[in-house]
Amino acid sequence: MATCKKSVKKPAKAATNSRSAAKKTSKLAAAKEKTAKPSQKKAKKNTSAKKEIKPVAKKKPAVAKKSVQPKPTQKTTHPQPIADTIEEPKAQEKPKKGMDKYSIDVLEGPDNRYFVLTVNNYRNFFALEEMRSIVKACHQAAGEQEGMQRLYHWFKNFRQDVINNTKIEGPSDPALKTIYAYIVSTYTVKNS
């Protein structure tokens, strides 16, 4: 009798080194990935990435069409006057007081403790004592020209900021004429 030898495969040696085992598994995974279909690759990539949620646009409700009703025609026996139907153009607004050198706006504080004179779009604050000396200087003048000069010299000596901020260019400046006219017509000097 003849004996048949069966061939037996020997089991593969276990990897002694953990690095070589990791290399083998990564090589096997790479080989499987290459042979995989493209759709399977995308599926693997999408599973690791976060899913994006797109907002769904809400549909607008359908607008019901309104039925158009004809306007009733009214016959008037009396026609409207022409003056009522024509709109008058708006009157041009006057510039606010104190916006230029030719107008002044004065605000008096409670109990006349202070005064605010707005000339040439600048607000000048004066205490009661300052205002009294300004009024006195204006009333001592013989006329408008002298009053303007007195105001200019008073501002130059005591309140140079008024000359600078109001942009007064000299003793004949129109702003001084405006201030003088207002002070003389509005205030008087107390006799004490």
| Domain layout of the chain by residue ranges | 104-186
Q: In angstroms, rounded to a whole number, what is the distance separating the alpha carbons of residues 98 and 104?
A: 4
Question: For residue 60, is pLDDT > 60?
Answer: yes
- The predicted-structure confidence for 109-151, as pLDDT tens digits, reads as follows 998 899 999 999 999 999 999 999 999 999 999 999 999 999 9
pLDDT for the residue 37: 52
**Of 88-92, 99-103, 131-135, which has the strongest mean pLDDT?**
131-135
Q: In angstroms, rounded to a whole number, what is the distance separating the alpha carbons of residues 131 and 129?
A: 5
Q: In angstroms, rounded to a whole number, what is the distance separating the alpha carbons of residues 170 and 154?
A: 12
Residue given tokens 């600048």 in the structure block: 122
**DSSP code of 172?**
T
pLDDT bucket at 191, cuts 50 / 70 / 90: confident
Q: In angstroms, rounded to a whole number, what is the distance separating the alpha carbons of residues 98 and 103?
A: 5
